[in-house]
Copies of this chain bind each other. A is one copy, B any other.
Amino acid sequence: MPVGTAATVKAMLPASVRQTGADIVLGNTYHLMLRPGAELICRLGGLHKFMGWDGPILTDSGGFQVMSLSKLRKITEEGVRFRSHIDGNEEFLSPERAMEIQRLLGSDIQMVLDECPAYPAAEAEIEKSLSLSMRWASRSKAAFDTQPGRACFGIVQGGVYPALRRRSVQALCEIDFDGYALGGLAVGEDQRAMFDVLDATVPHLPNDRPHYLMGVGKPDDIAGAVLRGIDMFDCVLPTRSGRNGQAFTRYGTLNLRNARHAQDASPLDEKCRCPACRQFSRAYLHHVVKSGEIIASMLLTWHNLTYFQDLMADLREAIAAGRLAETVARIAAAYPREVEKSPEMLD
């Protein structure tokens, strides 16, 4: 899912997002509640109409951003009080308010409010946080306005501790959700630790519900997670990297800022179907990145979103054809973990 934080997938028009192959985007409750406000978006006809996106929208609950972006936050049983990072105003988010905001936005897939502890954290701390998150999950589900075509997802927490992850899965399954997300990953732990958590958790999730790994990730993270039973992902990486002059390709990442692209008449990837690859040379992309031109963000975001959509399509095809492990290995080979050894990253 491309991330459309503030009611826009940055540097993309909705029709262009669609052309990359995306059929669902993510919106951020935290950002939208602060600006322009959920009640205003509701009065204007909902988030789909507001941002011009006619496909499904998944909204997070705001929990993660409250923990990572806001200031002076205070967490109680009731919810979390915090100050907006935009204007310093005091704000409050509870499980009930998080669901109300998502209902006002008209979100198709709504996420429960959870607490997102910092990484690393001791097991006792994670356990305490987890208990609160599970009570919040129960209140979120109770506050969810069930409607045909609307889904509510629970979020498995428990840090890197398998027993806590299993306890979280059990608690959520008792509440019964339309889908199950894994939170608290891709927060600083290495890939091995993340995969270990998936190995210890995903087999316990209901098989007939979607499994969503939040905030992930790099191509090889995604491939490895799909191998472990994950169905859905969101990440700012394709859009943010695009704005920073970085392109994802079948051969690894390219930093378009690097001087070696300055005279290169070849496209980023001759097999890619995006406008950056079809209409422009690496030399042009280098030029507009170096010049700070908006078109650089537009083209590289479009390219990266296309790359990630095609990556997911490849993985789906590989599953259908029974050769997933092979495809995952190919992707992982293009994205070696130790990036300092990759010549592309030495740009």
CB of B35 within 8 A of CB of A291, answer yes
A10 to B11 Cα, complex, angstroms: 12
Chain B residues whose C-beta falls within 8 Å of the C-beta of A50 in the assembled complex:
281, 283-284, 287
Q: Which of A40-48, A139-147, A176-184, A190-198 contacts B (4 or more CB under 8 A)?
A: A40-48
Least CB separation from A297: chain B residue: B294
CB of A283 within 8 A of CB of B11, answer no
Residue from B11, B13, B280, B283 within 8 A of A40 (CB atoms): B283
Residue from B6, B262, B288, B291 within 8 A of A293 (CB atoms): B6
Does residue A59 face the partner (Cβ distance < 8 Å to B)?
Answer: no
A279 to B54 Cα, complex, angstroms: 11
A11 to B153 Cα, complex, angstroms: 37
Contact A35 B284, CB 8 Å, known A11-B295, A279-B52, A295-B11: no
A35 to B287 Cα, complex, angstroms: 7
> For the complex formed by this chain, how many copies does it contain in all?
2
Does residue A120 face the partner (Cβ distance < 8 Å to B)?
Answer: no
CB of A298 within 8 A of CB of B263, answer no
CB of B36 within 8 A of CB of A293, answer no
Does residue A14 face the partner (Cβ distance < 8 Å to B)?
Answer: yes
CB of A36 within 8 A of CB of B280, answer no
A8 to B285 Cα, complex, angstroms: 11
Least CB separation from A302: chain B residue: B13
Does residue A188 face the partner (Cβ distance < 8 Å to B)?
Answer: no
CB of A288 within 8 A of CB of B52, answer no
New A-B contacts (18) at CB < 8 Å, excluding given A6-B288, A11-B294, A44-B283: A7-B284, A7-B288, A10-B293, A10-B294, A11-B295, A13-B275, A13-B299, A35-B287, A35-B291, A36-B286, A43-B263, A44-B265, A44-B281, A50-B281, A50-B283, A294-B294, A294-B297, A294-B298
CB of B291 within 8 A of CB of A10, answer no
Interface size class of A (residues with CB under 8 A): 35 or more
Residue from B10, B36, B44, B283 within 8 A of A36 (CB atoms): B283
| Minimal beta-carbon separation of A46 from chain B (angstroms) | 12
A287 to B47 Cα, complex, angstroms: 12
| Minimal beta-carbon separation of A274 from chain B (angstroms) | 11
CB of B262 within 8 A of CB of A36, answer yes
| Minimal beta-carbon separation of A139 from chain B (angstroms) | 30
| Minimal beta-carbon separation of A19 from chain B (angstroms) | 12
11 A–B contact pairs at CB < 8 A? A8-B293, A8-B295, A11-B295, A11-B298, A13-B295, A13-B299, A15-B275, A44-B263, A50-B281, A50-B284, A52-B284
A283 to B42 Cα, complex, angstroms: 12
Contact A295 B10, CB 8 Å, known A50-B281, A283-B36, A284-B50: yes
Least CB separation from A49: chain B residue: B281
Contact A14 B279, CB 8 Å, known A40-B262, A40-B263: yes
Chain B residues whose C-beta falls within 8 Å of the C-beta of A287 in the assembled complex:
6-7, 35-36, 50
Least CB separation from A243: chain B residue: B294
